[in-house]
């Protein structure tokens, strides 16, 4: 049996992306796969502020 992870990144409830992902999930479940669906809108993910903290490396700066 296949196991599938579906990640929906849309911020809009019941939009076209939700409908498309829902149809895909239903189709593969009907075919016998087990599906885990993650809705990213349920997680507090902030937008990049371009602060560049993620690119800073520890050590001396010149």
pLDDT at 26: 97
Tell me what pLDDT residue 61 has.
60
Q: Is the Cβ–Cβ distance between 44 and 62 less than 8 Å?
A: no
4-42 pLDDT, tens digit each: 999 999 989 999 999 999 999 999 999 999 999 999 999
Is residue 12 assigned to a domain?
Answer: yes
pTM more than 0.75: no
Q: CA-based angle 23:43:11, to the nearest 5?
A: 50
* In the predicted structure, residue 59 carries a pLDDT above the cut 70: no
Domain that holds residue 46: 3-55
In a domain? residue 62: no
Q: Total domain count for the chain?
A: 1
pLDDT value, residue 62: 53
The answer to whether residue 60 sits within a structural domain is no
3-class secondary structure per residue, the chain: CCEEEEEECCCCCCCHHHHHHHHHHHHHHHCCCEEEEEEHHHCCCCCCCCCCHHHCCCCCCC
């Amino acid at each position: 049996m296949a196991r599938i992870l579906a990640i929906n990144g849309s911020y809009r409830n019941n939009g076209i992306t939700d409908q498309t992902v829902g149809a895909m999930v239903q189709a593969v479940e009907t075919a016998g796969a087990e599906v885990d669906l993650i809705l990213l809108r349920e997680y507090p993910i902030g937008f990049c502020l371009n602060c560049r903290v993620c690119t800073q490396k520890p050590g001396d700066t010149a």
